């Protein structure tokens, strides 16, 4: 019974985190799309424009925050779909660890790329 309650509590927390990252994504994604594709002549920034854009510390923080939030939202979504597709209960912790590891690698790569470009 206690284990059942724990599973339910974790799944509620996952849902809340999924919803919270979804809410945060609305302004962050809008900023990312508008700033990188709609206010730029030709729809894409050239190399110098990307470097200059990411050189702004506020933008850098917002873009990294966007990366963390979008990756969290994506990994929680993938995990939720996998669970719903019938991953056995005993394998679920391994799946959670795998998607968390993928998310951490994704964010680490994105941060490395951001720093490399803006250097």
Partner 1 sequence: MAEEMASGRRRPTRWLDLRGRHEGAWAYALNRLTGIGLVAYLYVHLGVLSLLAHGPSTWNSFLATSKAPFFTALDALVLLGVLFHSLNGIRLGLTGVGAAVRWHQLLLRSLMALAVVLFLVAGLLWSIRG
Residue 3 touches partner 1, criterion: CB under 8 A: no
Residue 86 touches partner 1, criterion: CB under 8 A: yes
User: What's 59-75 look like in SS3?
Assistant: HHHHHHHHHHHHHHHHH
Residue 29 touches partner 1, criterion: CB under 8 A: yes
CB-hemisphere CA count at 13 Å for 100? 7
CA dist 89 and 79 (Å) reads 13
Binding site for partner 1 (CB under 8 A): 15, 19, 22-23, 25-26, 29, 33, 37-38, 40-44, 46-48, 50, 70-71, 74, 77-78, 81, 84-86, 106, 109-110, 113, 116-117
């Amino acid at each position: 019974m206690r284990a059942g309650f724990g599973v339910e509590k974790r799944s509620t927390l996952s849902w809340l985190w999924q919803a919270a990252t979804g809410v945060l994504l609305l302004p962050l994604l809008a900023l990312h799309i508008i700033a990188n594709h709609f206010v730029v002549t030709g729809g894409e920034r050239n190399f110098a424009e990307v470097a200059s854009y990411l050189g702004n510390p506020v933008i850098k923080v917002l873009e990294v925050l966007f990366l963390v939030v979008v990756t969290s939202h994506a990994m929680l979504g993938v995990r939720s779909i996998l669970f719903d597709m019938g991953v056995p209960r005993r394998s679920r912790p391994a799946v959670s660890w795998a998607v968390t590891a993928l998310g951490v690698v994704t964010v680490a790569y994105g941060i490395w790329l951001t720093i490399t470009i803006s250097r």
